[in-house]
Amino acid sequence: MALVLHAGNTNKNAFKALIAAEYTGVEVELVKNFEMGVSNKTPEFLKMNPLGKVPVLETPDGPIFESNAIARYVTRRKADNPLYGTSLIEYAHIEQWIDFASLEIDTNIMRWFIPRIGFAVYLPPSEEAAISALKRALGALNTHLASNTYLVGHSVTLGDIIMTCNLVLGFSRVMTKSFTSEYPHVERYFWTMVNQPNFKKILGEVKQTESVPPVQSAKKPSQPKEPAKPKAKSEPKKEAKKEPEKPKSEEAVEEEEVPKPKPKNPLDLLPPSKMILDEWKRLYSNTKTNFREVAIKGFWDMYDPEGYSLWFCDYKYNDENTVSFVTLNKVGGFLQRMDLARKYAFGKMLVIGSEPPFKVKGLWLFRGQEIPQFIIDECYDMELYDWKKVDITDEAQKERVNQMIEDFEPFEGEALLDAKCFK
């Protein structure tokens, strides 16, 4: 009977057990169509792990959670396994490096990466501390590997499997070549390991990131509300004292400190356009049938190519979109942060695909001939997308605009998971 592993097919913690299984010959079957946020919230899953965390391994004797424990179990299914060394001291050293990989490497990579993708509060001092601790750990690892091909002994052990799986996230997401070049022995070790046949079968082609992901959320911790102050007991009214007249110079200073009216948005200074954006938004919202004949035709009748421009956008990191609700939340957050552009823009965002990784593509109508600079400056999501101006003389691009406006499905051969409108 195969052991059943509950996790997504891109979960680096699940890779530990799967690689160990390749070395030991133990049959481990990864659950199909596992969806984080859905599959791990079912009553059946919560019976196996009440915290709802992955991975979880189903065995004939009951479930196991925590990825290192799962990898140890899979390894020990085979007696006298070389993954656990050939002596008591080798066994202890393997366990030592497993703890090091978890507490010094993985913990600090996660403290660096997770806040940057918006899953935790981003605080620059915390990031600096995580990077400093990670560098210290990599320095120690680099020193050890200067005279060792593997962590323990002369062949792959469970310590190498867990260390490599933890390093995969670092190399592929936050640790650029300029960062890792300080640790040449770690680099040599990592690329040697990920290209071992049993590793490569599970990990696939590993590529080093070219840049650190931009911060997707810089939420500040909410401040506790001050307790309401008790009302003072009513006292007999005292005759108000007359304020002495202020000198003229003081009055002049106060007048100068009165806030000046904000300068007009540059888009308000553009020549008037024949296209009235609110009219298009009303037409879009009110059209319930014959969308092509009414709304799409109406759009092109209204469209002013001199006063407005159309843009396609494609999310740069679609390979990260492995969880449907997280992907939808990303798009929803982007649209919320675009609220500052509501007077000057209309947009459609499509989440495409019936299974992960999901693709995020969009169409935007902006006032003017370029993407407004104030939007680029204020909405950090803009840099997460590749932007391309629509050539409306190209019939293929024009038809793509039509399909995105009307939520045409299948879009470019794939099902729509969701379509969101900014209007």
Pick the CATH number of 267-422 from 3.40.50.10470, 3.30.70.3170, 3.30.70.1010, 3.30.450.20: 3.30.70.1010
Contacts of 362 (CB under 8 A, 6+ apart): 312, 313, 314, 347, 348, 349, 350, 385, 404
The contacts of residue 380 (CB under 8 Å, 6+ apart) are 214, 215, 216, 337
Pick the CATH number of 3-203 from 1.20.1050.10, 3.40.50.980, 3.40.250.10, 2.60.410.10: 1.20.1050.10
The pLDDT of residue 337 is 85
Quote the pLDDT of residue 244.
47
CA distances from 74 to 84, 124, 267 (A): 11, 39, 63
**349-to-117, 215, 260, 363, 373 alpha-carbon distances in Å:** 20, 21, 37, 7, 21
Tell me if residue 154 falls in helix, strand or coil: coil
127 φ, ψ (degrees, to nearest 5): -65, -45
* pTM: predicted TM-score of the whole model, two decimal places: 0.53
Taken as a whole, the chain contains a residue count of 423
Report pLDDT for 262: 54
> Quick one: which H or E segment has residue 419?
strand 416-422
The dihedral over CA atoms of 402, 408, 411, 415, expressed in degrees to the nearest 10, equals 160
Which pLDDT score is estimated for 261?
52
Question: CA 389, CA 310: separation in Å to the nearest integer?
Answer: 6
- Please check whether the two domains, 3-203 and 267-422, share a CATH topology: no
CB under 8 A, 24+ apart: contacts of 330-334:
330/118, 330/216, 330/360, 331/360, 331/418, 331/420, 332/420, 333/118, 333/216, 333/217, 333/381, 334/379, 334/381
Q: What whole-number distance in Å separates Cα of residue 123 and Cα of residue 214?
A: 13
* Below-70 pLDDT ranges, the chain: 1, 217-263
Measured CA distances, 412 to 4, 185, 202, 320, 355 (Å) = 35, 45, 30, 20, 15
Core vs surface per residue 26-42: b (16+ CB within 10 A) or e: bebebbeebebeebbee
Where do the domains of the chain lie? 3-203, 267-422
